[in-house]
Amino acid sequence: MNRSRVLHRRLALPAAAACLLALLALSLAGPAWATPYFSAQTNKPCSFCHESPQGGSSLTPQGYAFRAAGFYLDPKALPVAWRSWLNLLAGFVHIATAIVWFGAIFYIHLFIKPRALVRGVPQGERLLGLGSIILLALSGAVLTWLRVPNLEALLHTTFGIVWMVKVFFFLLMVATAVLVNTWLHRRLQADAEAASRDPLAQFDGQEGRPAHIAYSGQLYDVGGSKLWPGGEHMRRHRAGRDLTADLAAAPHGPEVLERLPKLGPAPASPDPEALGPTARLLVVLAYLVLGCMLVILLCLAWWNWGPPLVPAAEPFRPQLAQACVGCHQKATPAVHHDWGRSAHARAKVSCLHCHQAGRGDRDIDQRHQAYFASGQGPWAQARYAAPVAAVVTPRDCSRCHLRQSQEYARSKHAASLSIIWRSDPWLNQGLSSPLERSLGCLRCHGSMLKADAAGRLDPATWPNTGVGRVNLDRSRGSCSACHGRHAFSLAQARRPEACGVCHLGPGHPQMEIYAESKHGAIYRSQGHTWRWDAPPETWTAGVDYRTPTCAACHMSAAGRTPATHDVGRRLAWELQAPLTVRPQDFAPWPAQRPWQQARQEMRGVCLSCHSPGWTDSHFKQLDATVREYNELYFRPVQAKLEVLYDKGLLPRDAFFHSPLWTTYYELWHHEGRRARLGAAMMAPDYAWWHGFYELKQRYTRFMQRADHLLASGQKAYLAPVLPGAIGSRRPPAALGEPSRWP
Tell me the Cα Rg of the chain: 41
**At a CB cut-off of 8 Å and minimum separation 6, what does 364 contact?**
357, 387, 388, 389, 455
Task: Tell me, residue by residue from 130 to 149, as one string, x for binding to other proteins by CB under 8 A and - for no binding.
Answer: --------------------
Phi-psi region of 623 (alpha: psi -120 to 50; beta: other; left: phi over 0): alpha
Among 75-83, 298-306, 378-386, 687-695, which window interacts with other proteins (CB under 8 A)? Answer: 687-695
Question: Could you tell me the CA-to-CA distances from 318 to 321, 351, 741 in Å, in that order?
Answer: 5, 10, 35
Among 332, 617, 714, 728, binds other proteins (CB under 8 A): 617
Among 613, 720, 723, 742, binds other proteins (CB under 8 A): 613
- Minimum distance from residue 446 beta carbon to other proteins (Å): 31
Among 240-248, 500-508, 579-587, 627-635, which window interacts with other proteins (CB under 8 A)? Answer: 627-635
Asked whether the beta carbons of 558 and 604 are under 8 A apart, the reply is: yes
Among 95, 288, 581, 703, binds other proteins (CB under 8 A): 703
Task: Tell me, residue by residue from 508 to 547, as one string, x for binding to other proteins by CB under 8 A and - for no binding.
Answer: --------xxx-xxx-xxx-x--------xx-xxxx--xx
- Minimum distance from residue 547 beta carbon to other proteins (Å): 8
- Minimum distance from residue 534 beta carbon to other proteins (Å): 9
- Minimum distance from residue 702 beta carbon to other proteins (Å): 10
Q: In the range 559-598, which residues lie near other proteins by CB under 8 A? A: 559-560
Q: Is 603 in the site for other proteins (CB under 8 A)?
A: no
Among 499-507, 576-584, 624-632, 718-726, which window interacts with other proteins (CB under 8 A)? Answer: 624-632
Sign of CA dihedral 391, 393, 396, 397: positive
Q: Is 36 in the site for other proteins (CB under 8 A)?
A: no
- Per-residue DSSP letter, 273: T
Among 267, 636, 648, 736, binds other proteins (CB under 8 A): 636
Measured between alpha carbons, how far is 540 from 429 in angstroms, rounded to an integer? 46
Select 396 or 516, whichever has its Cβ closest to other proteins: 516
Identity of the residue numbered 453: A
Measured between alpha carbons, how far is 228 from 342 in angstroms, rounded to an integer? 100
Tell me if residue 232 falls in helix, strand or coil.
strand
Question: What are the two backbone dihedrals, phi and then psi, of residue 485, each rounded to the nearest 5 degrees?
Answer: -70, 155
- Per-residue DSSP letter, 226: T
Among 138-146, 358-366, 384-392, 556-564, which window interacts with other proteins (CB under 8 A)? Answer: 556-564
- Per-residue DSSP letter, 228: S
- Per-residue DSSP letter, 261: P
**At a CB cut-off of 8 Å and minimum separation 6, what does 360 contact?**
none
- Minimum distance from residue 617 beta carbon to other proteins (Å): 4
Among 700, 728, 734, 740, binds other proteins (CB under 8 A): 700
CA 321 from centre of chain: 28
Select 83 or 701, whichever has its Cβ closest to other proteins: 701
Select 280 or 620, whichever has its Cβ closest to other proteins: 620
- Minimum distance from residue 620 beta carbon to other proteins (Å): 4
Phi-psi region of 657 (alpha: psi -120 to 50; beta: other; left: phi over 0): alpha
- Minimum distance from residue 600 beta carbon to other proteins (Å): 14
Measured between alpha carbons, how far is 682 from 684 in angstroms, rounded to an integer? 6
Identity of the residue numbered 286: A
Q: Is 609 in the site for other proteins (CB under 8 A)?
A: yes
- Minimum distance from residue 645 beta carbon to other proteins (Å): 21
Select 452 or 707, whichever has its Cβ closest to other proteins: 707
Complete DSSP assignment for 289-328: HHHHHHHHHHHHHHHHHPPPSS-SSSPP-HHHHHHHHHHH
Task: Tell me, residue by residue from 322 to 361, as one string, x for binding to other proteins by CB under 8 A and - for no binding.
Answer: ----------------------------------------
Among 66-74, 216-224, 273-281, 685-693, which window interacts with other proteins (CB under 8 A)? Answer: 685-693
Select 47 or 608, whichever has its Cβ closest to other proteins: 608
Measured between alpha carbons, how far is 675 from 685 in angstroms, rounded to an integer? 9
Strands (E), 37-149: none
Q: In the range 650-679, which residues lie near other proteins by CB under 8 A? A: 675, 678-679
First to last CA, the chain: 64
Longest alpha-carbon distance in the chain: 141
SS (H, E, C) 329-350: HHHCHHHHHHHHCCHHHHCCCC
Task: Tell me, residue by residue from 413 to 432, as one string, x for binding to other proteins by CB under 8 A and - for no binding.
Answer: --------------------
- Minimum distance from residue 647 beta carbon to other proteins (Å): 19
Among 245, 284, 624, 734, binds other proteins (CB under 8 A): 624
- Residues in touch with other proteins (CB under 8 A): 516-518, 520-522, 524-526, 528, 537-538, 540-543, 546-547, 557-560, 607-611, 613-614, 616-618, 620-621, 624-625, 628, 632-633, 636, 675, 678-679, 682, 684-693, 695-697, 699-701, 703-704
